[in-house]
Amino acid sequence: QVQVVESGGGLVQAGGSLRLSCAVSGRTFSTTAMGWFRQAPGKEREFVAATSWGRPSTYYADSVKGRFTISRDNAKNTVYLQMNSLKPEDTAIYYCAARVSPLIIATIHYPHRYDDWGQGTQVTVSS
């Protein structure tokens, strides 16, 4: 089993920055990739970014491209999401998820393709 714990959420003004962290423990060797998703009230969970543990490739939703950066520290089993130029529409609960199957572009957006999820961290951007 893999445990996923997010941290770093909070309240920030529009234009500000936050960095989310996602610590992975347990059977980490079984995971190949990590993803960040978010869910705003009344909306479906949506893909934000993803990266592989063993490859430098990163993937982003169009809505965050150029503003958010996903990175990882393999030694610490931790993934980060640096969020800059935040907008009120970025307000959501942000979830980190671990994936066993390799990242395939066609499936990176689907929450059901990720296996273990954290409890989420709230990000609120005020206008």
Burial class (CB in 10 A: 0-12, 13-18, 19+), 52: middle
Instruction: For residue 87, give every residue at least 6 positions away whose Cβ sits within 8 Å of its Cβ, in sequence order, or none.
Output: 14, 125
Instruction: Answer whether residue 1 shows pLDDT above 90.
Output: no
The dihedral sign for the CA sequence 121, 74, 112, 45: positive
Residue partners of 96: CB distance under 8 A and separation at least 6:
4, 6, 20, 22, 34, 35, 36, 37, 79, 81, 117, 118
* Contact between residue 83 and residue 68 where contact means Cβ atoms under 8 Å apart: yes
Q: What integer is the mean pLDDT of 7-12?
A: 97
Query: Tokens for 13?
Result: 């003004």
What is the tens place of the pLDDT at every residue in 62-97? 999 999 999 999 999 999 999 999 999 999 999 999
Q: How confident is the model at residue 29 (pLDDT cuts 50, 70, 90)?
A: confident
